[in-house]
Chain A
């Protein structure tokens, strides 16, 4: 780069995350972000987001994407895929051109929010505006937003198609097309929408496809829409190295009891609990609050405003537990989650893989516990077989070193909201840790804090 390194000294680099990482993210060639010859503004955003070195997938994908090749990439959950496509996107988008220049498609609305947030965090010095458009929000507002400058459009397929087909979102100059969770996006229902959206893109666009799972071959789409895709496959096994998986073989009516035991025995930073139906999501969340733990729930039957609220607060660490359906199975990145519990066991292997991938983000350690009842056992065998692993029975005590960070104060909130160029209050002081007053569970026993959970929180009052 240049000899003038002074800009680096003025960066607001967050506290270093000291948790141990696995080679899922460490096994790199040793490049640094500066080796990619990115623009200065982008580098600033990257470093201020707390990134130090590119992860393997970023190292592979960023230079190739900047060179303009189509990419088909798979890498494990939480190894930095999002940044792997956001960085080249930001590099390629020209802030001076007032057109949509990149389209990022994701399967769920929450993921759209999160992706947009990554774009805004990494690109906060780039002068690039990124808009989210998903269903469930006011369509009228999105149409109005498109009157303003929009460089990057992040959205879910249905809404994007609606906007593009009416020429409300002008994609004629959108030369970069990105799909996250590409296998889901290319499964039947989404694929037809995606193919129609592609009609509105210029013929010679670049496509970047990313996912952690490719249960079916994406060959058909590759042949049809990708031009000599550069294939990146960083997986030689499916499951994350950092995640320890256990099953607890219980009767259906023991599940709550078992869950309560887990709560009292485990050192949970934040936990995500998956249920198989919306009804059970709501009921379980209620139970958990009854047990004295703060808990939000989310599923696709809720109003989008509420879903967003839940998602936002949980990301910010305001509540300890989130109960959800498979709506939040893919892509959701919350660094502080160290335990995932499958209260109900999923049907497909990729769902299982994505669910447990909610813990152990970015090579960190995590725990996945599956409550299995008599009827689930074949599903368990099947998924074990498909993933080529064997899940062990839950031991009486679980070694803390398997999932608990020694210094949890360093666990970053994924992309701290407070860093954002806030449209309402400009330039807030940058805060990377959640201030204690924002973490109400640490308020004391009178608020229903179970004694077992307390030491963990009082020991680290800053989180």
Chain B
């Protein structure tokens, strides 16, 4: 803004007379001030609003240029320059101006500059009708804000001084009203810029107050579970007096309709609790569902504010970039006894006493490599390593079996070893990702080629029969994630096969406790790897298993709630965003900043969908793993070739399906569009069971915008009971842009959602 209005001519536009403005002094502009008062009908016509805007801008300009040097040309073509001290906006005849210290810069047609100059006094008043042109140079429009802040600061300083003087007098001025702009925390603290490092002063324990049992001991060195209520009652006599009616209203159990109401309430409660949550962690928590708070600790959940911006950017960032702040991972209760913290504070302590028992070197190397996946940060590097070692002490079985694999394989293919390494070396040299690699990815690729170091055992996965084949990217990926189960980090980086994008899949660091995916059993690798893949990496089988387990448990517990145990299908992995094709662009050009990212993403999304859909259909037809990488918007591809047993099991199981989804970015295309894509993909896949989708209600509340309804709440629409027919199969509204109902042939007729 500053000073770019060098030649602001005021004779722009011939407008109506003052009458066209609502307010009297709004007239300031509008009329042609150079004396031409006639309404120029031939000139352009603007609405009153526009005119007012013109006027306002002109006023603003004039106000801001007061005190600055201006050049005024009068009708006799003499140009005067001087300090603008005042102008009369109310004049009906142009703008009267007063110049201080006027000078003649151009005498126009008259030659006698000196004569004219002599006549000039200290101030010069030019009547509005004489002003032909007014030129203002270097008007500083930022002045306003500067003044504001200056004044504010002055005021605040003054207040502070006053307060100091008055001490705690109650007459302090309420300064709430002068805050024009809402201040964020940083505004208030007026952050000092760079983070300042300084020497910290070590705390030294007093000599002699050592308490046996606690000195030089960390928390984790003494893990026993305990009941706080009994201990506190026994030791200190603390008894509880809690009564919920102290906080909330009472249920009227004497109501004549109580029984009826109770039943109705139970029914509704069940319905609500079995509803999908679209992956919103807080909603899931409130419904009492097990939370997969991958990467969220309680600070993230209840206290901290996510600073990653809007939904889209946040999801992109969390997928593509390892964020050190997300290092703390919650581990399912079943795994709680293991030291699971990635909080450096905790790690350093837990590892200190355990690093001594060295593991087989083979396993030590692998975590090192995998740790690179998680980030290039040096401080992070050591974490998975430590964790791994301590973790191994606890679960001996898994790592041992894994070691055995790795030790076996060299014996199996001793001849191919060197050839393989050569191959890999060559490949590493030649291999180029067809687009710019982000910096963090380069490290990953490097780390994967690290494996070709002869000192390391060869890859078990590259059999001799394969060694003649040119290595494919998937080999590399396999290397990276060779060690599932031992290290949480590596298992997080895993994707089941068919990941379309190698590098990205491996940098996906959406943290996920192993327990949240595998249930209570952590798979141990054995030679039947393929079989393992088919079971353990099949999210449906896994979900079924864990569901059965929980049903069993529930049966043991009580009979009341067993019918409504929700069925979870968790997406077992997370993928980095994929973008269309092998374009030569880096992701930075695709997502350069917030605004363009949104626009571009919108365009790319449709392409992406097509690609993914097709991939899904094709892969599913080939009876591959169920878990397909579907980009961000559709990660629940129920391939037509998928095991029908599971499907019927789900349908017969009397349960709602739970599909964790991410909060949806705003721009996902409407359902009908996707629908057609789906249909097409299916046909290509020769589907025995048509994939069913429910497009019907969608258009109605699609209009409200996805965020407004992304949990399946159709705005103000009345609740529709979703119970279909006799099988009591609860069907939820999953059609929010990326939710699909998958039904079998045999029950989709009964479903109250029309299928097609």
Q: Do A and B form a real pair?
A: yes
CB <8 Å contact, B232 and A295: yes
B746 at the A/B interface (Cβ < 8 Å)?
no
Interface residues of A in 361-387 (CB under 8 A from B): 372-378, 380-382, 384-387
CB <8 Å contact, A134 and B302: no
Answer whether A166 and B268 are a contact pair too, CB < 8 Å, given A217-B182, A231-B182, A330-B303. yes
Please measure, in the bound complex, the distance between the C-alpha atom of A140 and the C-alpha atom of B258, giving whole angstroms.
Answer: 12
Please measure, in the bound complex, the distance between the C-alpha atom of A330 and the C-alpha atom of B201, giving whole angstroms.
Answer: 30
| Selected contact of A214 from candidates B184, B250, B283, B663, CB within 8 Å | B184
B236 at the A/B interface (Cβ < 8 Å)?
yes
Please measure, in the bound complex, the distance between the C-alpha atom of A273 and the C-alpha atom of B281, giving whole angstroms.
Answer: 26
Q: Which residues of B contact A353 (CB under 8 A)?
A: 185
Q: Give the residue name and chain of the B residue nearest to A302 (CB).
A: B228
Q: Give the residue name and chain of the B residue nearest to A64 (CB).
A: B176
Please measure, in the bound complex, the distance between the C-alpha atom of A259 and the C-alpha atom of B671, giving whole angstroms.
Answer: 58
Q: Which residues of B contact A264 (CB under 8 A)?
A: 209
CB <8 Å contact, B203 and A216: no
Q: Give the residue name and chain of the B residue nearest to A152 (CB).
A: B249
CB <8 Å contact, B200 and A377: yes
CB <8 Å contact, A166 and B719: yes
Answer whether A144 and B251 are a contact pair too, CB < 8 Å, given A156-B286, A215-B184, A283-B223. yes
CB <8 Å contact, B183 and A301: no
Please measure, in the bound complex, the distance between the C-alpha atom of A189 and the C-alpha atom of B302, giving whole angstroms.
Answer: 11
Contact string against A for B residues 182-199, beta-carbon threshold 8 Å, 1 for contact and 0 otherwise: 111110111111111110
CB <8 Å contact, B345 and A373: yes
Contact string against B for A residues 94-134, beta-carbon threshold 8 Å, 1 for contact and 0 otherwise: 00000000000001100001001100100000000111111
Answer whether A261 and B205 are a contact pair too, CB < 8 Å, given A107-B302, A145-B251. yes
Contact string against B for A residues 174-218, beta-carbon threshold 8 Å, 1 for contact and 0 otherwise: 000000000110011110110110011000000000000111111
| Selected contact of A238 from candidates B189, B236, B280, B344, CB within 8 Å | B189
Please measure, in the bound complex, the distance between the C-alpha atom of A344 and the C-alpha atom of B715, giving whole angstroms.
Answer: 43
CB <8 Å contact, A279 and B336: yes
CB <8 Å contact, A381 and B251: no
A400 at the A/B interface (Cβ < 8 Å)?
no
CB <8 Å contact, B228 and A310: yes
CB <8 Å contact, B251 and A168: no
Please measure, in the bound complex, the distance between the C-alpha atom of A251 and the C-alpha atom of B308, giving whole angstroms.
Answer: 32
B710 at the A/B interface (Cβ < 8 Å)?
yes
Please measure, in the bound complex, the distance between the C-alpha atom of A312 and the C-alpha atom of B713, giving whole angstroms.
Answer: 35
Interface residues of B in 298-343 (CB under 8 A from A): 298-299, 301-308, 310-311, 314, 325, 328, 330, 333, 336, 340-341, 343
CB <8 Å contact, B235 and A448: yes
Please measure, in the bound complex, the distance between the C-alpha atom of A29 and the C-alpha atom of B169, giving whole angstroms.
Answer: 10
**Segment with Cβ contacts to A, from B259-267, B464-472, B586-594, B595-603:** B259-267
B249, B251, B265, B283 interface centre (most CB from chain A within 10 Å):
B249
**Segment with Cβ contacts to A, from B210-218, B505-513, B542-550:** B210-218
**Segment with Cβ contacts to A, from B99-107, B240-248, B394-402:** B240-248
B288 at the A/B interface (Cβ < 8 Å)?
yes
Please measure, in the bound complex, the distance between the C-alpha atom of A372 and the C-alpha atom of B188, giving whole angstroms.
Answer: 25
Answer whether A351 and B185 are a contact pair too, CB < 8 Å, given A143-B269, A231-B179. no
A136 at the A/B interface (Cβ < 8 Å)?
yes
Please measure, in the bound complex, the distance between the C-alpha atom of A29 and the C-alpha atom of B176, giving whole angstroms.
Answer: 11
**Segment with Cβ contacts to A, from B346-354, B528-536, B568-576:** B346-354
A150 at the A/B interface (Cβ < 8 Å)?
yes
Q: Give the residue name and chain of the B residue nearest to A417 (CB).
A: B246
Q: Which residues of B contact A411 (CB under 8 A)?
A: none
Q: Which residues of A contact B345 (CB under 8 A)?
A: 252, 276, 344-345, 373, 375-376
CB <8 Å contact, A217 and B241: no
A14 at the A/B interface (Cβ < 8 Å)?
no
Q: Which residues of B contact A257 (CB under 8 A)?
A: 205, 210-211, 214-216
Q: Give the residue name and chain of the B residue nearest to A188 (CB).
A: B306
**Segment with Cβ contacts to B, from A5-13, A37-45, A85-93, A313-321:** A313-321
A143, A291, A440, A443 interface centre (most CB from chain B within 10 Å):
A143
A413 at the A/B interface (Cβ < 8 Å)?
no
Q: Which residues of B contact A162 (CB under 8 A)?
A: 272, 275, 283, 286-287
Q: Which residues of A contact B213 (CB under 8 A)?
A: 290
CB <8 Å contact, B241 and A283: no
Please measure, in the bound complex, the distance between the C-alpha atom of A273 and the C-alpha atom of B749, giving whole angstroms.
Answer: 58
CB <8 Å contact, A56 and B174: yes
Please measure, in the bound complex, the distance between the C-alpha atom of A59 and the C-alpha atom of B173, giving whole angstroms.
Answer: 12
CB <8 Å contact, A296 and B232: yes
CB <8 Å contact, B302 and A184: yes
Please measure, in the bound complex, the distance between the C-alpha atom of A137 and the C-alpha atom of B280, giving whole angstroms.
Answer: 19
Q: Which residues of B contact A308 (CB under 8 A)?
A: 242, 244, 247
CB <8 Å contact, B176 and A381: no
B224 at the A/B interface (Cβ < 8 Å)?
yes
How far apart are A367's CB and chain B's nearest CB, in angstroms? 15
Q: Which residues of B contact A406 (CB under 8 A)?
A: none
Q: Which residues of B contact A23 (CB under 8 A)?
A: 163, 168, 172
Please measure, in the bound complex, the distance between the C-alpha atom of A213 and the C-alpha atom of B188, giving whole angstroms.
Answer: 10
Q: Which residues of B contact A215 (CB under 8 A)?
A: 184-186, 305, 307
Please measure, in the bound complex, the distance between the C-alpha atom of A202 and the C-alpha atom of B341, giving whole angstroms.
Answer: 46
B426 at the A/B interface (Cβ < 8 Å)?
no
B2 at the A/B interface (Cβ < 8 Å)?
no
How far apart are A195's CB and chain B's nearest CB, in angstroms? 6
CB <8 Å contact, B245 and A424: yes
Q: Give the residue name and chain of the A residue nearest to B159 (CB).
A: A236
B7 at the A/B interface (Cβ < 8 Å)?
no
Q: Give the residue name and chain of the A residue nearest to B182 (CB).
A: A231
For the complex, count residues of A whose C-beta is within 8 A of B: 164
Answer whether A375 and B301 are a contact pair too, CB < 8 Å, given A253-B349, A253-B352, A301-B333. no
How far apart are A134's CB and chain B's nearest CB, in angstroms? 7
Contact string against B for A residues 404-431, beta-carbon threshold 8 Å, 1 for contact and 0 otherwise: 0000000000000100101110000000
Please measure, in the bound complex, the distance between the C-alpha atom of A30 and the C-alpha atom of B247, giving whole angstroms.
Answer: 33
How far apart are A56's CB and chain B's nearest CB, in angstroms? 7
Answer whether A375 and B211 are a contact pair too, CB < 8 Å, given A193-B282, A319-B238. no
How far apart are A255's CB and chain B's nearest CB, in angstroms? 7
B583 at the A/B interface (Cβ < 8 Å)?
no
A141 at the A/B interface (Cβ < 8 Å)?
yes
B711 at the A/B interface (Cβ < 8 Å)?
yes
A233 at the A/B interface (Cβ < 8 Å)?
yes
| Selected contact of A200 from candidates B176, B240, B298, B716, CB within 8 Å | B716
Contact string against B for A residues 230-242, beta-carbon threshold 8 Å, 1 for contact and 0 otherwise: 0111111110000
Please measure, in the bound complex, the distance between the C-alpha atom of A253 and the C-alpha atom of B229, giving whole angstroms.
Answer: 27
B59 at the A/B interface (Cβ < 8 Å)?
no
How far apart are A317's CB and chain B's nearest CB, in angstroms? 11
CB <8 Å contact, B286 and A382: no
CB <8 Å contact, A108 and B302: yes
| Selected contact of A161 from candidates B261, B302, B711, CB within 8 Å | B711
How far apart are A307's CB and chain B's nearest CB, in angstroms? 10
How far apart are A18's CB and chain B's nearest CB, in angstroms? 15
How far apart are A386's CB and chain B's nearest CB, in angstroms? 6
A457 at the A/B interface (Cβ < 8 Å)?
no
CB <8 Å contact, B228 and A385: no
| Selected contact of A139 from candidates B168, B198, B249, B269, CB within 8 Å | B269
How far apart are B558's CB and chain A's nearest CB, in angstroms? 14
Q: Give the residue name and chain of the A residue nearest to B284 (CB).
A: A158
Q: Give the residue name and chain of the B residue nearest to A314 (CB).
A: B238
CB <8 Å contact, B228 and A141: no
Q: Which residues of B contact A196 (CB under 8 A)?
A: 708-709, 711, 713
Please measure, in the bound complex, the distance between the C-alpha atom of A140 and the C-alpha atom of B564, giving whole angstroms.
Answer: 14
Q: Which residues of B contact A138 (CB under 8 A)?
A: 269
22 intermolecular pairs with C-beta atoms under 8 Å apart: A117-B246, A131-B249, A136-B286, A139-B269, A145-B248, A161-B713, A166-B268, A168-B268, A192-B707, A215-B184, A222-B182, A236-B175, A280-B341, A284-B219, A295-B232, A297-B228, A309-B242, A319-B232, A350-B305, A375-B348, A443-B236, A447-B237
Extra 5 A-B pairs, beta carbons < 8 Å, given A137-B244, A277-B343, A326-B299: A189-B306, A217-B182, A236-B156, A249-B201, A326-B297
Q: Which 8 pairs of residues, A with B, have the shortest CB-CB distance? A: A158-B286, A135-B286, A388-B189, A375-B344, A440-B237, A143-B265, A252-B349, A393-B201
